[in-house]
Amino acid sequence: MFSAISSSCSDMIHTWELLTGKLGSTEVDVWPYINNLGGDVISRTAFGSSFEEGQKIFQIQKEQISLLFQMLFILYIPGGRSIPTRANKKFKENANEIRSVLVAIINKRKKAIELGEGKYDDLLGILLESNKREIEENGVGMSMEDVIEECKFFYIAGSETTSNMIVWTMICLSLHQEWQIRAREDIFQIFSDKQFDFEGLKNLKILTMILNEVLRLYPPAVTMTRATHKDTKLGNMVIPSGVELSLPMMHVHHDPELWGDDVNEFKPDRFAEGVNNATKGKGVSAFFPFSNGPRICSGQNLAMTEAKTAIAMILRHFSFELSPSYQHSPFRAFTLPPQFGAPLILRNIL
């Protein structure tokens, strides 16, 4: 999927080059562009040939999140979702439209797979082929509704979280120019005048350290939940089956007992010797931006590849710093976006 990611990043870079124009620099709120990049990448990697329909789903999903915030104050009223408010009605219309688009895409793809027409290596193709084998071997698989929900989840988990990681990385590198310079030097040393390739990304040690520190300070999700399906011993506690646990990722990532007194500082070099050595000997469990264990996020590698590609391409073309109009305000929602955007001063360096 690297070529799809590269195409989306190149399109964004080209747009920024047009904005900087002949002057070579300009103020740009990069957040809307990075947010759209996340949707663009997931549309290409999830739906491939159905890219345009995928973009349509992304736009509706973004509107659904906005509507959900409008509806929050009535969700806990008995029957609140049935109250015919404008937001409620629009939310239901959007849900029906998303379902209709997805059903058409899924049925078209299932028919193509059954007829042996081409090989689909995007997320939807992998999901459907895997489900087909499961049904053939065990007689039970995912229903149409299950597949629809998985496709909708691609967008929430695969676009919002990665976009946040990229924008906070740009903000941190704007505040800490020395790390921006070090990361750029590392990129030019490894790639020189070559095109970016997947293998080369693995060697960007400085950028990996930076991304890990950004994920620690501004995790993609501030909290995650897990439920016990049997009696579970945790330290000195025995947790009964059916208990829902809240894992406050933001608090753990900012705990001075785990990370030291400099816990609130941006210090990528704490990851110079890997995650295990970054946590003052407390192990890798204290760092879980993508969860951990058997339920770790299946999109972790995709997200890191997208973030590395985007930041590497940006650093190769631009230097950047905070605009005087920037207001630092991480907004705790389902994810952690910048509430007032990310206005930066972009300067061409090529």
Contact 32, 14 (CB under 8 A): no
Q: Which of 31-35, 147-151, 265-269 has the lowest mean pLDDT?
A: 147-151
Domain segments of the chain as ranges: 2-220+289-348, 222-248
pTM comes to 0.87
pLDDT score of 120: 67
State how far the alpha carbon of 138 is from the alpha carbons of 73, 134, 141, 226, 304, in Å. 44, 6, 8, 28, 34
When pLDDT is cut at 50, 70 and 90, the band that residue 169 belongs to is very high
pLDDT score of 64: 80
Encode pLDDT of 67-82 as tens digits.
877 766 655 566 666 6
pLDDT score of 294: 79
pLDDT score of 51: 65
Cα R_g (the chain), whole angstroms: 22
Q: What is the mean pLDDT of residues 319-344?
A: 91
- 193 in helix, strand or coil? coil
pLDDT score of 275: 85
pLDDT score of 77: 62
Encode pLDDT of 170-180 as tens digits.
999 999 999 99
C-alpha–C-alpha distance, residues 9 and 299, integer Å: 18
Mean per-residue pLDDT over the chain, rounded: 87
When pLDDT is cut at 50, 70 and 90, the band that residue 184 belongs to is very high
Encode pLDDT of 282-292 as tens digits.
778 889 998 88
Encode pLDDT of 208-220 as tens digits.
999 999 999 999 8
Fold topology of 2-220+289-348: Cytochrome p450 (1.10.630)
C-alpha–C-alpha distance, residues 171 and 255, integer Å: 22
pLDDT score of 76: 58
Please report, rounded to a whole number, the percentage of residues in the chain having pLDDT higher than 90: 42
When pLDDT is cut at 50, 70 and 90, the band that residue 221 belongs to is confident
Q: What is the mean pLDDT of residues 311-330?
A: 95
Contact 316, 247 (CB under 8 A): no
For residue 240, what is the DSSP state?
P
Q: What share of the chain is helix, strand, coil (3-state, %, to 5)?
A: 60, 10, 30
Q: Can you count the helices (H) and strands (E) in the chain? A: 13, 7
Q: Please, what is the angle between helix 2-20 and helix 300-317, to 10°? A: 30
When pLDDT is cut at 50, 70 and 90, the band that residue 342 belongs to is very high
pLDDT score of 319: 97
